[in-house]
Amino acid sequence: MKDVNPALVEAKAKILKALAHQTRLYIVEELAKGEKCVCEFVEEVGADFSTVSKHLSLLKEAGIVQVDKRGQKVFYSLKVPCIINFLDCIEAIIKSNLEEQNSMFK
């Protein structure tokens, strides 16, 4: 790849991969409102405990969330706040896609 540091591109792709899943995206958006424990996500997402735990550790591995064990519960929270504005751009793309589809019927 021309003009770029392949290791940097790979690092970025890793973070994007961590976000690129419905469940993990949901988790990140929920964490934008405040910390939550694994058990809450299990209930909300409707998946196995192990499945949710793996999604969370993937997000942690990517450096997007951080962990705080308190008592028998494990709480996750967002580590990098800009993630939220960042998702605004994604919404802008969706809006632009929708407008394009609508304009086909005018």
Q: Contact positions toward a second copy, by CB under 8 A?
A: 1-4, 6, 8-13, 15-17, 19-22, 25-26, 29-30, 44-46, 62-64, 79-80, 82-83, 85-94, 96-97, 100
Angle of CA points 62, 67, 33, to nearest 5°: 90
User: 3-state class of 32 per DSSP?
Assistant: coil
How many other CB atoms are there within 10 angstroms of residue 20's CB atom? 10
Nearest residue to 55 (alpha-carbon basis) of 30, 72, 34: 30
Between 22 and 41, how does the x/- string for binding to DNA read (CB under 7 A)? Answer: -x-------------xxx--
66 binds DNA, rule: CB under 7 A:
no
Where on the chain is the footprint of DNA (CB under 7 A)? 17, 20-21, 23, 37-39, 42, 47-51, 53-58, 67, 69, 71-75
